Structure 1
Amino acid sequence: MTNKCDKEFDMDELISLCIEQMKTREMKQNLEYIRNQLRHLSTKEPPLSGESIDKEDIAFLSDIGRPLTSASKSSTNSTSTKSQSLSSRVNLLLFQIKAIDAVPLVMYCLGRWFRYPERCIINTVSLGGDTDTTASMVGGILGALHGTSWIPNRWFLNLENTKTWDQQTQTWVLFGRDLVLQLGQDLACLDCRTHSIFPGRLQSN
């Protein structure tokens, strides 16, 4: 872990707790509800089965959409944003994003595409930002929710797989596929019901 501030530690803890909670049976039902709410809010369609949409949520989505729409217009000199491709708008996003922004992005992608784990990870990466971090976050949560059988073989086969000799420790240091397998085996032995805390932080069991 390379994070250095309290907010980043909080985000790490949140992702860890999400991974643990995804193992519970009722989480799929909760995620289904979140997904429906996101769909209604983004399309402004009438809600289904008596569900209501908070007007403040719609106003919020409209507000955050305006800066991106304005930037799209100025960058393409287009009079209609509807004619622009998704990729042209995604390119306006910054490369690096903070942990406190990455986690909400992951939560949004999870809530929208959790039923399709492969698509969820691809879409999360396509949205930009710190893509190795966001992919790791959403991948860990999806793995806890769906297991590993859905992971395409091409992802595993195309992973880099190298090793280098460490003169100081006189051992081989793994990178790529073998490192992923080793980390997976080590993590499988951990008890996720408890986690490390820092001074002043609450402990969850």
Structure 2
Amino acid sequence: MKELTAIRREYLQGGLRRQDLPSTPLPLFEQWLEQANHAELLDPTSMSLATVDSDGQPFQRIVLLKQFDQRGLVFFTNLGSRKSQHIADNNQVSLLFPWHALERQVHITGRATRLATTEVLKYFASRPRDSQLGAWASSQSSKLSARSVLESSFMKMKQKFADGEVPLPDFWGGYRVEADSFEFWQGGAKRLHDRFLYQRHGEEWQIDRLAP
């Protein structure tokens, strides 16, 4: 295997300048997300969600961004999952969008709050039927003795809801992360990367350049 210390490259795709930044972070986030999508990156809406358990142990996992606006960024999940248990104890979370092919990252911190059932139902109804059945079949984060147990549960749900629509499980929902900060990272040559931090102060955002 190649020595890990020898794996390196220069970041040469572009820079980020203070005079080009909008006064609030959402327009720049939307622009970068659109560019990631236009570049046909694999899963451009995937983001790492970090939570902390009651012992202070951090956990990360990939979830998919499904909506965003001035109110925050939205993802959906099983409400009995490990991430949901963590959020119930401590709703301070962080999100990371790793758009490696564009030499970009966006790091977001904020507070996660449960979505109203009406919002969850609207999204759940738009999911493919097999995804709806999968939500019923999986007790997320619980231990399984074998994959066959999960597959058997899926088939039982498929038979149970063979006629008509698949209802919204009462253990399935979503969260909105109201952002306190956005950090935009753009790779630069000679490891002189561009980093800009937006921090919320009431209705205003303070912008600072950070050393790489």
One fold, TM greater than 0.5? no
Structure having the larger proportion of residues in helix? 1
Structure having the larger proportion of residues in strand? 2
Q: Which has the higher contact order (CA 8 A, sep 6+)?
A: 2
TM-score of the pair, normalised by structure 2 = 0.28
